[in-house]
Amino acid sequence: MKSLSSEMQVFLEYIEQKQLKLTPHRELILETFLKHEGHRSVEDIYRVVRESDPRIGYTTVYRTMKILLACGLARAIDLADGMTRYEHLYNHEHHDHMICMQCGKSIEFYNAEIESIQDSASEQLGFKVLDHKLQIFGLCNECRT
Amino acid sequence: MKSLSSEMQVFLEYIEQKQLKLTPHRELILETFLKHEGHRSVEDIYRVVRESDPRIGYTTVYRTMKILLACGLARAIDLADGMTRYEHLYNHEHHDHMICMQCGKSIEFYNAEIESIQDSASEQLGFKVLDHKLQIFGLCNECRT
DNA sequence: CTGTGTGCAAATGGTTTGCAAAAAC
DNA sequence: GTTTTTGCAAACCATTTGCACACAG
């Protein structure tokens, strides 16, 4: 028997809690999203999903991505290119982004020290940290010359 | 004689370099922007500017804010409320934002340690840091119960 | 004059919504 | 049969752009 991925379990739980249904469309969008790493726009996802089922509409992708955000499977990121992009969140290490201002490439990185200092600095100000986004803008290895 | 603010000097320099002109409209928008602290949307600025000169159009505010961004007098921030907001950059301490997910309030903070670790961590990855944005999402003192 | 700046209205483009038909249960 | 989901088209809304006019050198 085939075992469900833990992401799918999270999804099913959320869907039940919210009294939503697991439809083939939602399932396909989730699978497609999980299958690809990186920073993907709604249009990216829409294009790939369409290869499996051309009857799926743009709107459904938008609506499903909202569900994935709400249940913690996706994270919205803004790479300053005019549209919201999504990346996996659940079961993935938290990380931040360095964005090259010349070529537009974005590099993921993680630094435990930064994370812990953020938490303690916020606590000192009475702020309870739930999430954060750090974007570092500059020039990547190839572009800095 | 009245001395120019250093911000105005930066503006004049940039304007000359780009062969633009110092028009009354641009000057008024800059003054208005400088006069108010905080995170202000184009509409905020437009409303205030209109009190001094109702003939100024929305478009001009947009176009002038672009100039202010380009010459380093303003910084664009995204407080996730659907529109771009601007705050002073020149002659102001760099800072980051904590955004309360309940009441929407944003708190500015600065932590030197975070700054320096960001730089060194990025350097290690061959990335030249030019700017960064850090947003911490959570609950502020009042909202955390 | 010549060229830049400006206001208005219209266009743009990512995202959301209204609604009737389709699918799920 | 009742309720949720979906696709399409239209609406939205912040921002940008086209264009004719205003204004400065």
* Phi, psi of A91, deg, nearest 5: 65, 10
* Of the partner residues A78, A118, A136, the one whose CB lies closest to the CB of residue B122: A136
Amino acid at B113: E
The CATH superfamily of B96-144 is Ferric-uptake regulator, C-terminal dimerisarion domain (3.30.1490.190)
How are strands ordered across the β-sheet holding B128-139?
A: A106-109, A96-100, A128-139, B128-139, B96-100, B106-109
CB-based contacts of B99: which residues, under 8 Å, 6+ apart? B79, B80, B105, B106, B107, B135, B136, B137, B138
The H or E element spanning position B84 is none
Q: Is the pLDDT of residue A1 over 60?
A: no
- Terminal-to-terminal C-alpha distance of chain A: 54
Using a 7 Å cut-off to protein CB atoms, list the covered nucleotides of chain D: 4-9, 13-18, 24
pLDDT at B3: 60
Category of B100 on φ-ψ map: left (φ > 0), alpha (ψ -120 to 50) or beta: beta
pLDDT in tens, B79-128: 878 899 999 988 788 889 999 888 888 888 988 888 889 988 898 888 99
Q: Where in chain A is the domain with CATH 3.30.1490.190?
A: 96-144
pLDDT at A136: 92
Instruction: Give the CATH fold of the B6-88 domain.
Output: Arc Repressor Mutant, subunit A (1.10.10)
Q: With beta carbons less than 8 A apart as the criterion, state whether B87 and B75 touch.
A: yes
Interface of B with A in 114-133 (CB under 8 A): 114, 117-118, 121-122, 125-133
Beta bridge partners of A130: none
**Distance in angstroms (rounded) separating the CA atoms of residues A43 and B28:** 41
Q: Where in chain A is the domain with CATH 1.10.10.10?
A: 6-88
pLDDT in tens, A126-135: 899 988 999 9
Q: What's the CA A42/C1' C8 distance, rounded, in angstroms?
A: 34
* Of the partner residues B78, B101, B121, the one whose CB lies closest to the CB of residue A130: B101
**Distance in angstroms (rounded) separating the CA atoms of residues A90 and A67:** 13
pTM for the model: 0.80
